[in-house]
Amino acid sequence: MDVTSRFSVIMAGPEATMPLDEAALLVAAAVRPELDVAAEQARLDEVAAAVWAPTLDAVRKCLFVELGFAGDAEDYYDPRNSCLDQVVERRLGIPITLAVLLLEVSRRVGVPLAGVSMPGHFLVRDELDPEVFVDPFAGGAVLDAAGCEARFRDLHGPGTAFDPVFLRPVGPRAIVARMLANLDAVATARGDRQLLERVVRLRTLVPGASVPLHRRLAEVLASSCRFGEAADVLDGVAAAGAGDAGDDALAARRLRARLN
């Protein structure tokens, strides 16, 4: 399976029916290109089969008590924490990947939840009772809005302004975009050019990807002496009429000149 092509198809499809589990596993395949996505989806089925009742409480207790899923506070920026397959394997993760696990297991057993992209700390909200939130990184702790605000201030400081909009649910595209942004930061910090190129390429396929993000892909490719591919990216930006098309076209010509 070509990861990039499949990811592009998913991102281009309707968000309402977007398979979050598959998209998240394709993000993981940026780290391990040999990943068997279908097999990992079957593993999620197995995890869901251990949930004894279609309730949020049952899902929480199954994942965070019986199966022992937890937040990795010791090595938060380990790339494996951004990979759903490794989260299932190691039972460790960061807030967003543990949230995706919770969302996808809950979906399988008929418990409607939504992701909440609070700045600095991803949460999950109960769709049946919108006043109930879950912090997957804190062992599936149940919070109310005040508790979420307290989490926010713990991270950003007591004087930081909190906006209730931070607790609004987000769709799967926003979740995947945030997962990729996290992995981008990890790859950049580690100086892993191969991973960075794969991650940034996927980021450009998420609808609404910015012009600077496309230019960044060109820079990453050029840094690996892949000047033709970098020029193709800039030509695409110029052809779309986004940003300063003249500058992008000129930069593409300069990159191609380096091929001679």
For 20-32, the pLDDT digits (tens) are 999 999 999 999 9
**In angstroms, rounded to a whole number, what is the distance separating the alpha carbons of residues 218 and 214?**
7
**Residue 193: what residue type?**
R
pLDDT attached to residue 57: 97
Share of the chain above pLDDT 90, in %: 82
Share of the chain above pLDDT 70, in %: 98
> Are the CB atoms for 25 and 35 separated by under 8 Å?
yes
Residue 92 pLDDT exceeds 90:
yes
pLDDT attached to residue 115: 98
**Residue 206: what residue type?**
V
Backbone angles phi, psi at 170, to 5 degrees: -125, 160
DSSP string, 175-222: HHHHHHHHHHHHHHHHT-HHHHHHHHHHHHTSTT--HHHHHHHHHHHH
pLDDT in tens, 202-250: 999 999 998 999 999 999 999 988 899 989 889 888 888 666 767 888 8
Domain boundaries, the chain: 3-170, 210-260
pLDDT attached to residue 1: 64
- Read off the DSSP letter of residue 66: I
pLDDT in tens, 157-181: 998 999 999 999 999 999 999 999 9
Residue 71 pLDDT exceeds 80:
yes
Expressed in angstroms, the distance from the first to the final Cα of the chain is 34
Residue 196 pLDDT exceeds 80:
yes
pLDDT attached to residue 258: 84
Q: Cβ neighbours of residue 246 under 8 Å, at least 6 residues apart?
A: 238
Residue 132 pLDDT exceeds 90:
yes
**In angstroms, rounded to a whole number, what is the distance separating the alpha carbons of residues 115 and 27?**
17
Backbone angles phi, psi at 129, to 5 degrees: -135, 90
